[in-house]
Amino acid sequence: MRIGAVGRSVARILLISCVLLLLALPAACSESAPTTTVSLAVDRDIKQGDMFAVEVRIDTDTACRGAQFELSFDPALMRCDGVVEGGFFKDWANANGAVTLVYPESQTIDNNQGHVSSYGIVIMGGSGGVEGSGVLCSYQFTALADGTAGPTLSDVVVIDASGQAIAEVEVKN
């Protein structure tokens, strides 16, 4: 069976189409859902008497209006002295005619058990939400001994601009 010039042209077009489809496939497959990561930033090596901060950071491509989480730590190694609101929500709220509300107003710090109660922050007023990277809050600590700081986050929830919890939040301790 002989393939004519038209048949060869059709075969070439099909071959080129298949190659282009295969080249486009990885790009289409790599498109993923929006991502939100909440992580801890801390200098892990501490010396007795050092005062240091543990930042809770967020990186998101979803417009957000709030977050909450709890923090645990080794009470033999470190003492939590307080919690300070970060600029991620606060700066956006100030620039967009809104305010932030931290709840509860003061966290319960249990230095005997190594736990800080739920910390929450939400944007009140304005519309839309904030995307990008920044600091949600900063825990202030004093090192009680030399060692490796290893605080951990738990019960992490991030709220999107519609008031719904983001389904998948990656937590990096």
How buried is residue 73: exposed, middle or buried, by Cβ count under 10 Å (0-12/13-18/19+)?
A: buried
Q: What is the pLDDT of residue 107?
A: 82
Instruction: Tell how far CA 4 is from the center of its chain.
Output: 60
pLDDT level of residue 159 (50, 70, 90 thresholds): very high
> Could you tell me the pTM of the whole model?
0.79
Q: What is the pLDDT of residue 32?
A: 57
Nearby residues of 133 by Cβ (< 8 Å), 6 or more positions away: 57, 58, 59, 60, 88
pLDDT level of residue 103 (50, 70, 90 thresholds): very high
pLDDT, tens only, 52-78: 999 999 999 999 999 999 999 999 999
